[in-house]
């Protein structure tokens, strides 16, 4: 549980910093997305690796809670009166299920592009050595042969999260993720036997610290799109359209 959890935390933290590049503009963000796509087979290895880690993490969760139940000689007759715990710790299953549902939706949304195809189908074309955005109605099947195109992840990102229900779902799901990690990241140190003596108070703060960092970064993005703080920067769209229509 702790080892797969640590790998997943590593992924979400780097994913957050990578996504925050959206605030640096179209060029920076799409160059990054394009670089990821250019990894080809390596990207698939990373994707399959992540899926395997998620499956192992869920398997470990089921096993740990089963062992926990079995270790109890007498069943509880009344609902438990928790005294030494945190709200985060009590809702691990609930937050975990919300995160799982979010991941499924998120992949359909931004990787497969089937949850909202109109938002996914945006492309940039190469014009005179520069990547140029194209208008919404742009038809990539009508491009002259040999024209270089790349996915416009920047527009997909902004237009996707601008929709109130979608943006709010991202905020709720990342709230659940922050809650999950507030407990998990401290718990991981207990499991690995690294929470003792003078380290204890510090370990107790790691979880809420990482949770708060992720909450801030990951909620900032949908919030920026919902409030219109970040709008699509369409510089060059007209030039690209006139060259190719």
**Interacting residue ranges for ligand HEM, rule: CB under 6 A:** 12, 15, 19, 33, 36, 43, 47, 50, 99, 103, 106-107, 110-111, 153, 157, 170, 174, 177, 218, 221-222
Q: Which residue lies nearer to ligand HEM by CB, 195 or 226?
A: 226
Task: Collapse the DSSP code of 203 into the 3-class scheme (helix H, G, I; strand E, B; otherwise coil) and give the result.
Answer: helix
Q: Which residue lies nearer to ligand HEM by CB, 104 or 238?
A: 104
Give the closest residue to 107 by CA, choosing from 99, 118, 115, 119.
115
User: What span, in angstroms and rounded, lies between the C-alpha atoms of 182 and 92?
Assistant: 10
Distant-in-sequence, close-in-space partners of 8: CB < 8 Å, separation ≥ 6: 50, 53, 54, 57
Residue whose pair of structure tokens reads 């959206």 in the numeric block: 22
For the range 32-41, what are the long-range contacts, defined as Cβ-Cβ under 8 Å and sequence gap of 24 or more? 33/151, 33/153, 33/154, 34/150, 34/151, 37/150, 37/151
User: What span, in angstroms and rounded, lies between the C-alpha atoms of 190 and 186?
Assistant: 7
Q: How far is the CB of 94 from ligand HEM (least distance, A)?
A: 15
Q: How far is the CB of 43 from ligand HEM (least distance, A)?
A: 6
Q: Which residue lies nearer to ligand HEM by CB, 180 or 206?
A: 180
User: What span, in angstroms and rounded, lies between the C-alpha atoms of 243 and 207?
Assistant: 53
Q: How far is the CB of 7 from ligand HEM (least distance, A)?
A: 12
Six token digits for residue 77: 């007759």
Q: Which residue lies nearer to ligand HEM by CB, 82 or 216?
A: 216
Q: How far is the CB of 212 from ligand HEM (least distance, A)?
A: 15
Q: How far is the CB of 37 from ligand HEM (least distance, A)?
A: 7
Q: Which residue lies nearer to ligand HEM by CB, 48 or 238?
A: 48
Distant-in-sequence, close-in-space partners of 14: CB < 8 Å, separation ≥ 6: none
CB 239 within 8 A of CB 127: yes
Q: How far is the CB of 203 from ligand HEM (least distance, A)?
A: 23
Q: Which residue lies nearer to ligand HEM by CB, 140 or 194?
A: 140
Q: How far is the CB of 107 from ligand HEM (least distance, A)?
A: 6
Q: Which residue lies nearer to ligand HEM by CB, 64 or 112?
A: 112
């Amino acid at each position: 549980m702790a080892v797969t959890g640590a790998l997943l935390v590593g992924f979400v933290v780097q994913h957050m910093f990578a996504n925050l590049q959206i605030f640096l503009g179209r060029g920076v963000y799409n160059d990054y997305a394009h670089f990821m796509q250019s990894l080809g087979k390596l990207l698939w290895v990373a994707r399959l690796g992540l899926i395997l880690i998620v499956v192992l993490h869920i398997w470990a969760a089921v096993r740990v809670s089963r062992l926990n139940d079995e270790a109890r000689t007498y069943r509880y007759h009344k609902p438990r009166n928790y005294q030494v715990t945190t709200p985060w710790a009590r809702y691990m299953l609930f937050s975990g299920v919300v995160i799982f549902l979010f991941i499924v939706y998120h992949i359909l949304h931004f990787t497969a592009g089937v949850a909202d195809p109109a938002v996914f189908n945006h492309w940039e074309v190469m014009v005179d050595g520069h990547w140029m955005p194209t208008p919404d109605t742009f038809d990539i099947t009508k491009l002259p042969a040999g024209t270089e195109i790349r996915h416009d992840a920047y527009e997909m990102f902004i237009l996707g999260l601008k929709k109130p229900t979608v943006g709010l779902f991202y905020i709720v799901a990342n709230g659940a993720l922050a809650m999950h990690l507030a407990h998990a990241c401290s718990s991981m140190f207990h499991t690995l036997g690294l929470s003792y003596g003078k380290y204890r108070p510090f370990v107790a703060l790691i979880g809420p610290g990482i949770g708060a960092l992720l909450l801030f970064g990951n909620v900032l993005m949908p919030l920026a799109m919902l409030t219109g703080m970040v709008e699509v920067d369409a510089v060059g769209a007209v030039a690209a359209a006139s060259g190719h229509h």
